[in-house]
Chain A
Amino acid sequence: MTAYRSTETTAEVPAQPLKPRTHWRQRRDLQAAAIVPLVALVAAVLIGDLNAWLTLTLAGLAMGMMLFIMTSGFTLVFGLMDVLNFGHGAFISLGAFCGFSVMLSMDGWRLSDSLWLNLGAFGAAAIVAMTVAALMAWLFERILVRRVYGDHLMQILITMGGLIVAEQLIYVFWGGHDIPMLKPPAFQGGVQWGGLVFEKYRLLAVVLGGLLFIGLLLVFKRTRLGLLIRAGVENREMVESFGYNVRRLFVLVFMAGSALAALGGIMWGVYDEVITPHLGQSLMITVFIVAIIGGLGSIEGCFIAALLVGLLSNYVGFLAPKLALVSTIGLMVVVLLWRPQGLVPVSDGGK
């Protein structure tokens, strides 16, 4: 070992690491997150009816969680590889159809009155759908996406083509008609609490979405994989320069993101009790809006934006039904005027 020579000439260096100082002004994510309760509060005043407000808020949170699950993969794929996947919606549809098929074939569990058997059927459907989506995503990446890195025009065109073909294939395998399916008995109805009624499935969606968000955050903040993904989003070249296989990392994220899209698809389908082959395409637009509002590539931003969009469309849907979809677009415009890179811009780390 070499002799120790201080390289810090003037500043006195404490022996212990300093606690990071973070000012409120630097925490863009916290600022953005504060908007969510603010919106809920304003809505409470406008609605004026506590019961209706609670129902709408729960519905909004449930929708937001499902949107978050669907959007997280899309936004990460973009952040990590700068790939815009218009075909993401296909995986939402694929998940919904696979999931419905599995659940419809498990009538014994699905129609049982036991919550656990119901959950079992739902879990099995989720596992199958996510596996199928992940495998299809692997193919999708290999055949289509791999060749068009770095060229956005080509990416948009080719993944759009992928979306068309995938959607048509869903028609081929499942027929063109809508598939209806009632919620499993244990998911139906509501829970009484005081004088208030909460719809069970919405609670389930919120719990599941919340768990997933926490799980994803843990993966991002606590594991090496998450560390690499966060670093890769900032500066891919540099991660490669440290000898990591970013390509493999990307394929992994692509597959995981598509699997999450599939999970979101089933949850949405079970909630609506019907699925159509157009499901993915129509949700895709909302997914884009959420991703843009949150800041492309940011997982925290995605979560905040999903909750905002979910809450806002429910509140507006109640207050002024005609403006429901327009409201989310309005939100997008306002956010982009405030922060052109989205609510939580991904730091580009001197890229």
Chain B
Amino acid sequence: MMTDATTDARVMPMLTLQDVHTEVDGYHILEGVSFSVPRHQVTMLLGRNGVGKTSTLRTIMGLWRANRGTIALNGENIESLNTMNIARKGLHYVPENMGIFASLTVGENLRIACRSQRLEGERLDWVLQLFPALHTFWHWPAGHLSGGQKQMLAIARAVIEPCDLLLVDEPSKGLAPAIIQNLIQAFEALKSEQTTILMVEQNLHMAQRLGDHLVVMEDGRTLHEGRMADFATDSKRQAEWLGLSMEASV
């Protein structure tokens, strides 16, 4: 079990990756990724461009198959399951490009995300309160939404059904600072709901605001795992691992 002193090891982590290797089209993408995602916390997956953060999420989701290593959700191995079954285990995914169905309306996009129940009731009200714009543009084709609205729709879809673990890939990518503030607020609301989140993020300000736990990757491997709070004050490591500093990214 996890023995890293910096995390709360009393409860079993939600998700544990152990020495995961992934190969795509003959290229090694991941070469030994090991970390865990503590329950009810936000884990930030950081690293420079191209170190395998997105690939890690895709591998967890079963969109790419791990050649080696184990991925355990609540102690149960899921690395050999296909995407459909992984999703049914309670993993919800917001990909880097958001995966919006552009020709479907906002409402239809949400309806698809509701696999096991009807799209109605408290949960829907809650999501629409979280993202009022979705209510406004309910009948619009999702392709006509702005970038920030699309991102909110993508997140709304992922949380419209209660999920065990939410995987989010760079939600702030390409968004204006004001919109990023909105996103942060939305994620804070989710956090207070005790949602477990694993997020890839380049925006250090956002990562610092939301993150509890931290994983840093380099060259397809995990470089460091620890508490966000420690990392946030360590500008030397920030420069060393990410090549940038907190100040530069706000």
Contact = CB atoms under 8 A, between A and B. Distances in A.
Interface residues of A, number: 40
Interface stretch (A46-54, A151-159, A227-235, A283-291): A227-235
Given A18-B140, A243-B84, A244-B115, A230 B101 contact: yes
Interface in B68-115: 82-85, 87-88, 92-93, 95, 97-105, 108, 111-113, 115
A5 B129 CA distance: 7
At the interface, is chain B mostly helix, strand, loop or mixed?
helix
B101 A349 contact: yes
Interface in A200-222: none
At the interface, is chain A mostly helix, strand, loop or mixed?
loop
Contact of A240 (B84, B122, B136, B182): B84
Interface in B152-185: 152, 157, 178, 181-183, 185
B61 interface: yes
Contacts of B185: 5, 7
Given A2-B126, A7-B152, A227-B111, A349 B103 contact: yes
Nearest to A224: B111
Contacts of A2: 126, 189, 192-193
Interface in A33-55: none
B122 A1 contact: yes
B50 interface: no
A17 B138 contact: yes
Contacts of B181: 9
B224 interface: no
Interface in B183-235: 183, 185-186, 189, 192-193
A237 interface: yes
B135 interface: yes
A20 B144 CA distance: 9
B139 A20 contact: yes
Contacts of A239: 112
A1 B190 CA distance: 10
A192 interface: no
A350 interface: yes
A172 B98 CA distance: 52
A338 interface: no
Given A1-B122, A7-B130, A238-B99, A231 B104 contact: yes
B137 interface: yes
B19 to A, nearest CB: 25
A7 B131 CA distance: 6
A5 B188 CA distance: 10
B132 A6 contact: yes
User: Looking at B129, B141, B152, which has the most chain A CB atoms within 10 Å of its CB?
Assistant: B129
B104 A230 contact: yes
User: Looking at A14, A26, A235, A350, which has the most chain B CB atoms within 10 Å of its CB?
Assistant: A350
Contacts of B12: none
A246 B152 contact: no
Contacts of A230: 101, 103-104
A10 B176 CA distance: 13
Contacts of B87: 240-243
A11 B111 contact: no
B136 A350 contact: no
A224 B111 CA distance: 9
User: Looking at B100, B101, B140, which has the most chain A CB atoms within 10 Å of its CB?
Assistant: B101
B73 to A, nearest CB: 14
A342 to B, nearest CB: 14
A13 B139 contact: no
Given A20-B144, A235-B101, 20 more contacts: A1-B126, A4-B129, A5-B130, A6-B132, A7-B130, A7-B185, A7-B186, A8-B182, A14-B136, A20-B141, A230-B101, A231-B101, A231-B112, A235-B99, A241-B63, A243-B88, A244-B84, A347-B143, A348-B102, A350-B98
19 contacts: A2-B193, A7-B185, A7-B186, A13-B133, A17-B138, A18-B136, A18-B139, A20-B105, A20-B140, A20-B141, A224-B111, A227-B104, A227-B112, A230-B103, A234-B102, A240-B84, A241-B63, A241-B83, A245-B84
Interface of A: 1-2, 4-11, 13-14, 17-20, 26, 224, 227-228, 230-231, 234-235, 237-246, 346-351
Report the 10 A-B pairs with minimum CB-CB distance, sorted nearest first. Answer: A243-B87, A238-B99, A349-B102, A17-B138, A7-B182, A240-B83, A350-B97, A243-B88, A347-B102, A4-B129
